[in-house]
Structure 1
Amino acid sequence: MNPSLYKPAVMPTADVLRRAANVKLLILDVDGVLTTGYLDYDAHGEATKSFYVQDGLGMQLLRQNGIPLAIISGRDSTVTSARARDLKVQWVIQGAQDKGAALAKLTADAGVSLDECAYMGDDVIDLPILRAVGFACSVPNGHFLAQRTAHWVSHAAGGMGAVRELSELILFAQNKLHAAYAAYLGGDTPPTLEIQ
């Protein structure tokens, strides 16, 4: 693994890198992971959400490097559907109050094992998935039970770069990060970054 493009706040453990290297499907919660978790309501009573653009590029890079994406959300939202379409998320399951059942259907549809799945969630509704998947991830602004169950907790908060951080970790662990960024680097040699 070439660390020259990868500079995490804290270097992941060998176990985390092994789990990330095995990921064949990234599954994400929405509220509190892809967004900050705040819900704003417009004058018509419709909930609006903000998505972090750098998370979107991380998801795009995963997809372009052979790692498909899925969403399992407890809420049903047209805003989430629109963002998922923009990012070409292959599987979108919304209104899932039983996330364990949603996960079982998703893995069957995607043809992957639980060990090959990564999931990032932030609350107790996510615990059935966090306990089941091979690589369970949470965010620092998530509920402590989600954090305690996770194999890895991002440095960046949900809706503020957590998904980008996870995307880079997976690509790094699979030796795909340099290829993912090659088009943006041009002919430049990437700077050597020190891992601390």
Structure 2
Amino acid sequence: MKNNPKCFILDVDGVMTTGHFLYSADGKQMKIFGPDDNDGLALLNPHIEIRFITGDRKGFPISNKRIKEDMKFDLDLVSTIKRVEWIKERYDPKEVIYMGDGIFDHYVMNEVGYSIAPANSDRVAKESADFVTERTGGDRAVAEACLHIMSEFFNAYEPDKLPADQLDQGE
């Protein structure tokens, strides 16, 4: 990445979640979000803009509750096949770090400055990513990615130097 990253854009399903959709007779009811990811994002947040995108229209209220209302990050509904254009309308793609897992995410990964895929991503996404986490989506992959970004582009996380008020202890 030639330029310093300005924005970290994350897909929701399969990255922040396990990628599973839990249905009842009434439709999509739940998604499984993993532990520690919000803490990792809290460490990274002072250094870079963080925002989320999802193509899951029917599950948007669930993602909105977790990402926007609880975690206080921006969330946009963006089709999986329109993400490159969406990013180009808002950012210099070379200043973007993108984290995705799906069958179309390699298109985005090939356009941005740096890309990350969880361990359980689509094969082509993992081959296109600059970094592949050891953890899977919904199981601390985002926290791992945040620590990687800190050490790669900013200052490595040093637990002994963390201000006590930096993390939200309510997680």
Q: Which residue of structure 2 lines up, in the alignment, with residue 40 of structure 1?
A: 22
Structure with bigger RCO (C-alpha 8 Å, 6+ apart): 1
| 2:135 aligned with 1:152 | no
| 2:133 aligned with 1:175 | no
| 2:34 aligned with 1:52 | yes
Comparing both structures, which one devotes a greater share of its residues to strand? 2
Task: Please state how far the C-alpha of 1:42 moved relative to its aligned partner.
Answer: 3.3
Count of residue correspondences: 160
Q: Which residue of structure 1 lines up, in the alignment, with residue 51 of structure 2?
A: 70
For residue 171 of structure 1, what is the amino acid of its counterpart?
Answer: M
Task: Please state how far the C-alpha of 1:176 moved relative to its aligned partner.
Answer: 5.1
Give CA-to-partner distance per residue, 1:139-189, whole Å, 9 cap, x none. 22111110111111001011101100010111123115238961249xxxx
What is the percentage of aligned positions where both structures have the same residue? Answer: 29
Is 1:137–1:151's contact at 8 Å kept on the other side of the alignment? yes
Is 1:72–1:102's contact at 8 Å kept on the other side of the alignment? no
Q: Which residue of structure 1 lines up, in the alignment, with residue 169 of structure 2?
A: none
TM-score (norm 1): 0.73
Gaps of at least 5 residues in structure 2 are 166-171
* Greater Rg over alpha carbons, structure: 1
Give the alignment's Cα RMSD to 1 decimal. 2.4
For residue 73 of structure 2, what is the amino acid of its counterpart?
Answer: V
Distance 1:116 1:42, change over 3 A: same
Q: Report runs of 4+ in structure 1 exceeding 4 Å deviation.
A: none
Measure, in 2, the Cα distance between the counterparts of 1:105 and 1:184: 38
Q: Which residue of structure 2 lines up, in the alignment, with residue 166 of structure 1?
A: 145
| 1:137 aligned counterpart, secondary structure | strand
Measure, in 1, the Cα distance between the counterparts of 2:29 and 2:107: 26
Distance 1:27 1:95, change over 3 A: closer
1:12-31 correspondence runs (5 A)? 19=1, 22-31=4-13
TM-score (norm 2): 0.83
For residue 49 of structure 2, what is the amino acid of its counterpart?
Answer: P
Measure, in 2, the Cα distance between the counterparts of 1:20 and 1:140: 25
Q: Which residue of structure 1 lines up, in the alignment, with residue 102 of structure 2?
A: 123
Q: Which residue of structure 1 lines up, in the alignment, with residue 86 of structure 2?
A: 102
Q: Which residue of structure 1 lines up, in the alignment, with residue 93 of structure 2?
A: 114
| 1:37 aligned counterpart, secondary structure | strand
Is 2:118–2:136's contact at 8 Å kept on the other side of the alignment? yes
| 1:177 aligned counterpart, secondary structure | coil
